[in-house]
Chain A
Amino acid sequence: MEWNNVALMADELRFNDRTVTHATEARPFDSPMGALIARARQGDLAAFDQIITAHQQRVVGIAWRMLGNQDDALDAAQDTFLRVYKFIGKFDPSQDFAGWLYRIAVNVCHDLARKRGRGNPVSLDAEIEAGRFVEPSPHNTESSAMFAQEGRIIARALKTLSEKERAAIVLRDMEGLTTEEVAKVLGSTPTTVRSQVSSARAKIKLFRDRWLKKSAVQRTR
């Protein structure tokens, strides 16, 4: 029964699902997730295991987009869940659990990036120079290598953003949270988030424009 609920919740938090549903956490401990949280607060590791199962994909996805590689993403996810368990007793049940968890995930990613010397944005020129990119083409987008290549390019594009811009655009455009939800996760205001998102989109567009231009020059040689 509980596993079915977990599967349902995992579906609601499905990675590419643009509509984020947090209905399960609307009322404290009444929902299946709320019950799991209550049990986890009592030290029930089986319940916490189910919480991880429900959120792992999304947390790893955020971490991967924030940090740009798989190993760091898994490390960040592990740290995130450890922190969640440590502080789950202080979690206010009237709040959105997923938002609280994503906030922890974002903070862990910032900490990890700083610890590994990757916290500061890199220059756009350096990132473009560093890559040996191929131009995206609608004819070969089915290729998994092309997907991987595009993923790496986007990861490089995200590296040109500041920490806050990166967090804002990852949560807003890539994870599909609303501006208000992003503001809650980041402990900010919707106006600030809008400003960060606008700036980030402009930088991403600039990166893409220059990358396309460079790829075109390489192709003509």
Chain B
Amino acid sequence: MRCEHIEPLIPLYVGGDLEPHEADDVRQHLNSCAPCRQLHEEFQASQQWLTGAVVPKFDEASFAKLRASVLQEIERQEKRGSWLDRIEWLLPKWNPRLMLASATIALAITTGLVATIYHQQQIPAKGGNEAVAKMERRNGADLVNAVTGRTSSGNTQIATALHTGSQRKRQAASKLLPPEAFTNQGFSNALEPPVIPEETIVAESPAATQPGEKEKEQEMLRIEIQTADPNIRIIWLTPKADGHLNPNEK
């Protein structure tokens, strides 16, 4: 046999892994081929080096520790297993259809709950805004009149003109409204009155009037509006006889 056929067999030959007839072929070739014999010697040395490797001695203490840790772990797992065994009857048996059905039901329940919670969170806000809008619609005209010093009936009963709607709705509205709604900026357009808690409007405060200005005061209408911000109070002075601003007056 030629060298290229023998060389791949040498690694197996050194370990005794060849069939007898293959081993004979290699042996005969090695007797007559110096390079292959050299290669064979190198493989033999490598094989002896590898098989002569000694695993470090593990002392008995290491093995005792190993056994103890294995047995402890088994006992721990069995204890945990027995606890699970006790409640096993509570657990459903593995059944793909049952599991699929349970998962579907669980998903439906979860979706329903999430939708309900979301809806409930939306209702107060929506309801509150509706209440405010209703109050705006109902009180808008009166509020404009109040600002201009006249009600639809021609009286100057500002506070009473605005006291409509239930207490609950007003509270809800005052809670929901942003603080900006109570600033004087929101009150710039008399035709589009801002939503403000009616109880913050203080009409004609005689205590606040100076004695020297009494005559002027009789001709002027004074409106004080306390916004939600305690530092901001809107004081409006307007002539009582000025009817141009009253949209209800024809």
A204 contacts across to B, CB distance below 8 A: 46, 50
Interface of A, helix, strand, loop or mixed by DSSP: helix
Indicate with 1 or 0, residue by residue over A35-78, a CB within 8 angstroms of chain B CB atoms.
00000000101001100110011001100110000100010011
Query: B75 to A154, Cβ gap below 8 A?
Result: no
> Using Cβ atoms and an 8 Å threshold, which residues of chain A touch B51?
173-174
Residues of A within 8 A of B (CB): 15, 43, 45, 48-49, 52-53, 56-57, 60-61, 64-65, 70, 74, 77-78, 81-82, 85, 136, 147-148, 150-151, 154, 157, 169, 172-174, 179, 194, 197-199, 201-202, 204-205, 208-209
Complex Cα–Cα for A204 and B51 (A): 11
Partner of B42, one of A57, A78, A147, A209: A209
State whether A48 and B62 are in contact (beta carbons under 8 Å apart), knowing that A201-B43, A208-B46 are contacts in the complex: no
Report the bound CA distance from A53 to B17 in whole Å: 32
With A173-B51, A201-B46 known, 10 other A-B pairs at CB within 8 A are A64-B55, A74-B62, A78-B70, A82-B74, A151-B56, A154-B49, A154-B50, A197-B12, A198-B12, A205-B11
Query: Complex: how many Å from CA A202 to CA B14?
Result: 11
A-side contacts of B63, CB under 8 Å? 53, 56-57, 60
B interface residues, how many (CB within 8 angstroms) = 30
CB distance from B19 to the nearest CB of A (A): 10
Q: Give a binary string over B39-75; 1 marks a CB under 8 Å from any A CB, 0 the rest.
A: 0001101110111011110100011001101110111
In the complex, which residues of chain B have a beta carbon less than 8 angstroms from the beta carbon of A194? Answer: 12, 17
Contact partner of A64 among B8, B56, B71, CB < 8 A? Answer: B56
Interface residues of B (CB under 8 A from A): 8, 11-12, 14-15, 17, 42-43, 45-47, 49-51, 53-56, 58, 62-63, 66-67, 69-71, 73-75, 78
Tell me whether B11 and A198 are in contact (CB under 8 A): yes
Chain A nearest Cβ from B49, distance in angstroms: 6
The residues of A that contact B67 with a CB separation of less than 8 Å are 49, 52-53, 56
* B69 neighbours in A (Cβ, 8 Å): 78
Report chain B residues within 8 Å CB of A45. 71, 74-75
Residues of A within 8 A of B50 (CB): 154, 157, 169, 173-174, 201, 204
- With beta carbons under 8 angstroms apart, the residue of B11, B45, B55 that contacts A15 is B55
Ordered by A's residue number, 7 sampled pairs between the chains whose C-beta atoms are within 8 Å are A64-B55, A74-B66, A78-B66, A82-B74, A154-B53, A169-B50, A201-B12
Q: Which residue of B lies closest to A18 (CB)?
A: B51
By the criterion CB–CB under 8 Å, are A61 and B55 in contact?
yes
Residue pair B43, A205 in contact (C-beta under 8 Å): yes
Q: Which of chain B's residues have a CB closer than 8 A to the CB of A136?
A: 49
Which of the residues B54, B56, B62, B74 comes within 8 Å of A85, measured between beta carbons? B74
In angstroms, how far is the closest chain B Cβ from the Cβ of A183?
Answer: 12
Residue of B43, B47, B49, B55 with most partner-chain A CB within 10 A = B55
Question: Most B CB atoms within 10 A — which of A64, A150, A205, A209?
Answer: A205
Task: List the A residue with the shortest CB-CB distance to B54.
Answer: A147
Indicate whether A70 sits within 8 Å of B56 (C-beta atoms), given known contacts A78-B70, A85-B74.
yes
User: Once the chains bind, are A179 and B17 in contact (CB under 8 Å)?
Assistant: yes
Tell me whether A82 and B70 are in contact (CB under 8 A): yes
Return chain B residues, CB-CB under 8 Å to A64: 55-56
Contacts of B43 in A (CB 8 A): 201, 205
Q: Establish whether residues A49 and B71, one from each chain, have CB atoms under 8 Å apart when the complex forms.
A: yes
Chain B proximity of A109: nearest CB distance (Å): 14
Least Cβ–Cβ distance between B161 and chain A, in angstroms: 80
A77-B71 Cα distance, complex, nearest whole Å: 13
A160: min CB distance to chain B, Å: 13
